[in-house]
Amino acid sequence: MSLSSAVKTTISQALTSPALRQLSRQRHALRRRLSRQPATVHYFHQVDDPYSHLTALHLEAFEAKYRVRLVPHLVPPPDCAAAPEPQKLQNWSAIDAKRLARSLGLNAPDFLRQPKHTEIEAAQSALAQVLEQPRWAPKLAEISDALWRGTDLSGAGKGQNPADAGLLAHQMLESGAALRQKWGHYLGATFYFEGEWYWGLDRLHHLERRLGQAGLAWVGTARLPLVPARAPMFKPIEHTSPTRPVVYFYCSLRSPYTYLAAAQLRRLAEHYGAQLRLCFVLPMMMRGLPVNWPKRLYILRDTKREAERLGLPFGRIVDPIHHATERGLALLHLAIPLGRGPALLESFLQGVFADGLDAASEAGLLAIAERAGLKPSQINAPLADPAWRDQASAHLQDMLARGLWGVPSFRVDSMPAVWGQDRLWMLEEDLIAALSPPVP
């Protein structure tokens, strides 16, 4: 490993260190007590974001459950550096949030009806007038619901002059965006509490766990989180379908979330008797899509806490950018027809994200390959074969055609794809549907 890689690995270990995280929490708590300030959770709301709407529906219950001051902020959509495919993100969020809402039993609006610019401005102006009121959370939910259902918002505020309300909304959006950037995030539907970020309903349980451990839950409130973490159930099922379903796994060797998903997905496919097809693609940065530092840092720390929840090691990272990824994909292309594809994928991802292996080095790649069941004599030839590039390009075009641009993504047969290791429970639903007899 080069000196540069060794330094970066040390930095990644520090950034994901549980001990340093706990020290930071203690420092924030001490500062709060010394200043005699209440524990304060900041919530950042983007009015035209479906996930913000779903989150808004839970804010009143959150306030009632915890002894914290919840402070709302209006924010604009993420910039292109954080969301390089804004239209695809908008379309995908609408589809995913609708399915998420249905699974939670929420009567969600049609997110595919994207609000008009004038409607968005009206909602922002209305919220600017109510967010500083004592009981702002239910009003936020009401205004958000009206926006997404296309209801008239002219009387939703306090009756302030429209020009003044619009100016106030503009100022709140600017200050909210500046604060979000200062603290290191880029999305709406996000919570910030004393140095750490939590995105939407998918990470709310992490925030609730932290508040509970800090003794900030009201006595007598339920210990279960408002929205528990979702995970595959591995249900017993009788295979009535004459054919095995096929799971298509769009994956990258530089994606920490792919690392979290890989072993779980393999077990899901095995449990339900499905074929698993690995559709590897180049990482976003090798496709000309930028990933800025705040986004990388959030993903790094978010992956760490998710890895802890799943019982996976994570943190000794040797970034497999460029040459390391190319070598890894060449080997993966070889391993797939040999039946060692999933093993090679898991070995590579664990190696670069948890074991501190440098896949750009001969020793590092050999260790990864041997752990996956490949022999040293099988390694050199595929590294010189560029055939994997055509496969990666074909997989990318297939993924893009399905409205996705990031990994990990998955689909069952010809069903709509799902995106993210948070959505393996959705994939499981699709597997069960594929194995179930058709409804007469």
- Predicted confidence (pLDDT) at residue 159 exceeds the cutoff of 80: no
3-state secondary structure of 178: helix
Residue 229 Cα distances to 49, 209, 274, 410, angstroms:
21, 11, 25, 19
**What's residue 440's pLDDT?**
61
Q: What is the DSSP letter of 406?
A: S
> What whole-number distance in Å separates Cα of residue 75 and Cα of residue 402?
29
Q: How confident is the model at residue 112 (pLDDT cuts 50, 70, 90)?
A: very high
Residue 241 in this model has a pLDDT that exceeds 80: no
Q: State how far the Cα of 224 lies from the Cα of 238, in Å rounded to an integer.
A: 32
- DSSP readout, 74-96? E-----TTT-S-HHHHHHHHHHH
- Asked if 125 and 119 count as a contact pair (C-beta separation under 8 A), the reply is no
Whole-number pLDDT of residue 382: 72
Task: Sketch the domain layout of the chain as residue ranges.
Answer: 38-213, 246-435
- 34-44: average pLDDT: 98
Residue 106 in this model has a pLDDT that exceeds 70: yes
For domain 38-213, the question of CATH label 3.40.30.10 is answered with yes
Handedness of CA 149, 404, 183, 205 (dihedral sign): positive
Sheet holding 275-280, edge to edge: 275-280, 246-251, 409-412, 418-419
- Compare 242 and 137 and report the one with higher pLDDT: 137
Mean pLDDT on 334-340: 96
pLDDT at 268: 98
Between 75 and 223, the higher pLDDT residue:
75
Phi, psi values for residue 310, rounded to 5°: -90, -5
pLDDT score of 138 more than 80: yes
| Gap between the Cα atoms of 312 and 308, Å rounded | 6
Quote the pLDDT of residue 12. 94
Name the band, by pLDDT with cuts 50, 70 and 90, for residue 101: very high
For residues 241 and 323, the model is more confident at 323
Q: Which two tokens stand for residue 52?
A: 């913000």
The stretch 109-113 carries a mean pLDDT of: 94
* The CATH fold of domain 246-435: Glutaredoxin (3.40.30)
Which burial class, exposed, middle or buried, applies to 226 when counting CB atoms under 10 A from its CB (0-12, 13-18, 19+)?
Answer: middle
pLDDT of residue 8: 85
User: What's the CA gap between 140 and 54, in Å, rounded?
Assistant: 11
Average pLDDT, the chain: 94
Judged against a pLDDT cut of 70, whether residue 75 lies above it is answered with yes
For range 278-296, the mean pLDDT: 90
Query: pLDDT tens for residues 176-202?
Result: 999 999 999 999 999 999 999 999 999
**pLDDT tier at 157 (50, 70, 90 boundaries)?**
low
pLDDT of residue 439: 63
> Identity (one letter) of the amino acid at 41?
V
With 0-12 CB in 10 A as exposed, 13-18 as middle and 19+ as buried, what is 401? exposed
413 within 8 A of 431, measured Cβ to Cβ: no
What's the confidence (pLDDT) of residue 237? 84
Q: Which of 148-162, 193-207, 401-415 has the lowest mean pLDDT?
A: 148-162
Query: What is the rounded average pLDDT of the residues 341-355?
Result: 99
The answer to whether residue 3 scores a pLDDT higher than 70 is no
Domains 38-213 and 246-435 share a fold: yes
Per-residue pLDDT at 156 exceeds 80: no
173-191: b or e for each residue (b if 16 or more CB lie within 10 Å)? beebbebbeeebbbbbbbb
Both tokens of 330, joined, read 């060449």
